[in-house]
Structure formats: structure tokens, C-alpha cells
Amino acid sequence: MKIDSKLRFSDGHEMPAFGLGVFLSEEGDECANACKWALDKGYRLIDTAAYYRNEATVGNVMRESGIPREALFVTSKLWNDDHGYDSTLRAFDKSMEQLGLEYMDLYLVHYPVPEKRLDTWRAMEKIRESGRCRSIGVSNYMSWHLEELLANANTPPVLNQIEMHPFCFGNKRRESIDLCREKNIVVQCYCPLVRARRLEDPVLQKLAEKYGKTTAQILIRWALEEGFSVIPKSSKQHRIHENAEVFDFAFTPEELAEVSGLNEDFIVCWDPTQTE
């Protein structure tokens, strides 16, 4: 596994498994620097969203990077207020305008908003057919949201982005993951660092010591070894570097199982298990 190793989607496109998240990276210098440092380090995937208000900065850095467009991968997301067929089409246009790129690699439904989400998906399919977005997927979908979507979609989602780390790896997550695996939907972990709230965990510390790594690196490596895509966020250059230095060691099967057994059903973002 390398920094630009790819995962293949069911629609034939590929995405780097590892990337940079930019939630709370402020539009302007903060986000621009984070993206530049990341690209210099070898990151090729950047995860933004209309809600983050930094799509313009992400697009700008990508355009000016000198890196061929095909080597870069950008994800953005449809915000909750924009669900519905026509408003999804409009929101996508706005995101494209902000990004200033010829195409988006992956557009996600940010959250399974009840009632409107199937109309939204019809618009997502239309967007994909237009060729302005290569792949479409979802975020925060639990197994029942996915089942509903798969029963109604012409084009299935290629990816499900959900909060995932060893402390949030209980039955409901695992049901969603199992369904994704069965249906060839890539699982992408957000909040993979638990927003830095479990970096003192003794099991993580033990492994960090053994491998000469930080506990943040242990968490990122865990996600990759479980076969997930992972998008840690940092706005600091030294951490953007640190988070990418996870490709020179590997857990034993026992260690992987030990980390995967740390579940506390602890979530740091929103809770889609409460959404019908």
C-alpha cells in the first residue's frame, strides 16, 4: 500500500484510498496551505463539501498545482437543505462553479434526509449521466438507508462515507459496512482520528511505541488495513505530513483484531442511527 494506492468503484472509476479532509479548514489561506502541503506530500484526494464553504479554495489549489487533473481526485457533497430533484441539480451547479474544474470526481449526498432523498438520488443519477461528475455516492447511510436506495436506484452509490474509527465500530456500523462490502460499495471513514479525543488510548499507545509511530498514525493505518478509504483532516503542515507516514509498517492479524475490538459506540459527529 502506498500514499496513492487506489480503490476501484463499481462504476469502473478509481479513487486514492487515502486523502485529506478539509472540514473546518477555513476558506482562504488556511485551507489553501493545507491543500498545498498535502499535494506536495503526495496526497491526491481532497474531501470537501458545499457546507464547508471552501470548495473554491480546493479547486483553485488543484488548478494551480501543476498536477495533471486525472491524477487528482475531488469529492464534494450536497447539503441537507438542497435535497429534492431540482434543488440538487442547482446545488451541484453551484459546487461546480465554486470548484472551477471541468468535472468533479465524486459527488455525495451528505446525509440521508428523510422523504426527499429518493428524489435527490434521481438528480444525482442525472448529474452522473451528464459526465460533469464521474461517480456518485452517499454519506451517513446506515444499512436501512442503503437498502431503500438500492431498491429504488438505477445507478447504485459507489461509496458510503461514514464516521468510523475503532471506538465507533459497533453492530449498526458493521451492518452498514457488511452491506457495502456485499454490494461493492467502498466505505470511507470520516473522523478517523476521533477528532483527537482518543489519542491517549493505551492499546493505541502500545502499538505506537512498538512501531515508532504516533497514535494518530495507528488510527489511520487501522482504517486502511480494514480496507476502508480514510480522510484525516489537519490544517497543520507537520500533522499533514505525519498523517501520511503510515505506509511503512503493518499490524499483525492479532493487533488488527485488538484495535478493531475497541468499540464504545462513541461518536463525535452526527448520529444517522437515529434517522429513519
Ligand X SMILES: NC(=O)c1ccc[n+]([C@@H]2O[C@H](COP(=O)([O-])OP(=O)(O)OC[C@H]3O[C@@H](n4cnc5c(N)ncnc54)[C@H](OP(=O)(O)O)[C@@H]3O)[C@@H](O)[C@H]2O)c1
Q: Give me the active site residues, please.
A: 52
Alpha helix segments (H runs only) across 14-81: 29-41, 55-64
Q: Measured from the CB of residue 4, what is the shortest distance to ligand X in angstroms?
A: 18
Q: Measured from the CB of residue 246, what is the shortest distance to ligand X in angstroms?
A: 10
Q: Which is nearer to ligand X, 35 or 96 (CB)?
A: 35
Q: Which is nearer to ligand X, 129 or 264 (CB)?
A: 264
Task: Write phi, then psi, for 45 (nearest 5 degrees).
Answer: -115, 130
Q: What is the DSSP letter of 134?
A: E
Q: Which is nearer to ligand X, 141 or 251 (CB)?
A: 141
Q: Measured from the CB of residue 197, what is the shortest distance to ligand X in angstroms?
A: 9
Q: Which is nearer to ligand X, 154 or 274 (CB)?
A: 274
**CA torsion through residues 47, 48, 52, 56, sign:** positive
Q: Measured from the CB of residue 105, what is the shortest distance to ligand X in angstroms?
A: 14
Q: Where are the beta strands (DSSP E) in 30-111?
A: 45-47, 73-78, 104-109
Give the helix/strand (H/E) hosting 150. Answer: helix 143-152
Q: Which is nearer to ligand X, 129 or 269 (CB)?
A: 269
Angle separating helix axes 143-152 and 171-182, nearest 10 degrees = 30
Give me the residues that bind ligand X (CB under 6 A), please: 21-23, 47, 110, 139-140, 161, 190-196, 199, 214, 216, 231-236, 239, 242-243, 269
Grid coordinates given for 56: 473554491
8 A C-beta contact, residue 246 and residue 221: yes
CA dist 49 and 78 (Å) reads 7
Q: Measured from the CB of residue 178, what is the shortest distance to ligand X in angstroms?
A: 20
Q: Which is nearer to ligand X, 89 or 216 (CB)?
A: 216
CA dist 144 and 230 (Å) reads 23
**CA torsion through residues 46, 48, 54, 59, sign:** positive
How many CB atoms neighbour CB 50 within 10 A?
Answer: 20
Q: Measured from the CB of residue 249, what is the shortest distance to ligand X in angstroms?
A: 16
Contact partners, residue 36, CB within 8 Å, separation at least 6: 61, 65
**Which residue's Cβ has the minimum distance to ligand X?**
21
